[in-house]
A = this chain, B = another copy of it.
Amino acid sequence: MNTTFMHRAIELARQGMEKNEGGPFGCVIVKDGTVIAEGNNRVTSDNDPTAHAEIVAIRRACENLGEFQLTGCEIYTSCEPCPMCLGAIYWARPNRVFYAGTRIDAAEAGFDDDFIYTELNIDPKLRSIQMIPMERELAKEVFQSWTEKKDKIDY
């Protein structure tokens, strides 16, 4: 736990907000004691709803490393990751995550993080964005081909 890295993440949150790049969220990714990537929320300036601070920083860190995993890295983020960013963290597989604000703090500032955590556990058909299954058997055929594929790269 390193307060310097967290203070930098929070500074990025403030700077991004003040430059009207997006919401007040910042993130720093560290490997072997060195910052390898930074990010701040850029949703409204990039017209990209996925451009949360953690996603931006994870993409940059992987680009810098030339890898699709963050093995051995630590993530410092100014707020508890939303479900999208939490998922991205699991796919990137860093060692640990440090966070400052919570999903409750984010909700009080008008963000949907806590709402989305709730929606995740609701039956897909009953969610506020309805999710409807169809054509499952066709999709399973592709998964079967993946299982049998000899030259696949697992991730």
Give the chain B neighbours of A84 by CB distance below 8 A: 83-88, 90-91
Q: Check A136 against B86 for contact (C-beta < 8 Å).
A: no
Give the shortest distance, in Å, between A57 (CB) and chain B (any CB).
11
Copies in the complex: 2
CB distance from A146 to the nearest CB of B (A): 4
Number of interface residues of A (CB under 8 A): 92
Q: Which of B7, B69, B117, B146 contacts A49 (CB 8 A)?
A: B69
Interface 0/1 of A47-59, CB less than 8 Å to B: 1111010010011
Interface mask (A86-114 → B, CB under 8 Å = 1, otherwise 0): 11111111111111111001101110100
Evaluate contact between B146 and A24: CB separation under 8 angstroms.
yes
Residues in chain B near residue A59, CB distance under 8 A: 48, 50
CB of B80 within 8 A of CB of A63, answer no
Contact residues of A between 18 and 62, Cβ < 8 Å to B: 20, 22-24, 43-44, 46-50, 52, 55, 58-59, 62
